[in-house]
Amino acid sequence: MTLEIITSDALAPLQHGFFTRRGGASSGVYAGLNCGTGSQDQSELVVINRDRVANAMGVDGDMMCGVFQVHSPDVVTVDEPINGEKPEADALVTATPGLALTILTADCQPVLFADHDAGVVGAAHAGWKGAISGVLGATVDAMVDLGANRENITAIIGPTISQRAYEVGPEFLDSFMAENPDYSRFFAGGDGDRAMFDLPGFGLHLLREAGVGHAEWVGHCTYSDPDRFFSYRRSCHKKEPDYGRLISAIRL
């Protein structure tokens, strides 16, 4: 099966993609294109999957740059391949042609950034913790430090869990209200004391607050489409032992 890659006209002609799970070598709960080196999948199959992504991105495997994601606001500026231990961070930016910036997700937001004129790109992993702690704004700031113009930056949110599938408890809502009472608009009523959280809506708000010129969500829900996407939350609900990771990538 060939790879399925979701792209955005707003990021074209840059090589980029939000890869679905289709077209990979893994099986079982990881069936398809599991690119998670931290998963319990067979490591040789993850290598095959990642090599297929590198080939689709037009780079050698060692030019695929990723970080050890920890739900932080931290951003790494990359100007050469990352060899050895990956730095702990949740976003990368570069102005170096040929490097493919990659992010792994399984419900959290993968966000790809580009200032075409300045020749600066970025990639961020933004779950609710990273988003509320500022990773999206920090990515924009790091791009500006490399010469990007805030108003020329395009930011695209890839497949992520949608509001209809993201039920949260009162403590979750309280943490957002403590940060900013206006954040109540990203919650809808659920059963009992539960609420439904709009993660991509929150991400779009933060991107616009950061001053980017264009921001959009591709509209795909990871939880609701098991044939195309891995989902951490869905795997928990199904009591599966582990879950695959989707990869998103961009390069100059």
> Domain map of the chain by residue range?
5-162+198-251
Task: Give yes or no for a contact between 74 and 137, defined as CB atoms under 8 angstroms apart.
Answer: no
Report the C-alpha gap between 148 and 175 in whole angstroms: 33
Low-confidence ranges of the chain (pLDDT < 50): none
Q: Look at residue 1 in the predicted model and tell me its pLDDT.
A: 66
The whole-number pLDDT of residue 84 equals: 86
CB neighbour burial string for 90-106, b if at least 16 within 10 angstroms, e if fewer:
bbbbbbbeebbbbbbbb
Q: What's 13's DSSP letter?
A: T
Name the pairing type of β-strands 120-126 and 91-94. Answer: antiparallel
Average pLDDT, the chain: 97
Task: Please state the CATH superfamily assignment of the domain spanning residues 5-162+198-251 in this structure.
Answer: CNF1/YfiH-like putative cysteine hydrolases (3.60.140.10)
CA nearest neighbour of 23 among 7, 42, 3, 8: 3
pTM: 0.97
Q: CA neighbours within 13 Å on the CB side: how many for 132?
A: 16
The Cα-based distances of 161 to 13, 65, 104, 165, 200 in angstroms read 27, 24, 14, 7, 8
The owner of tokens 């002609």 is: 13
187 φ, ψ (degrees, to nearest 5): -125, 140
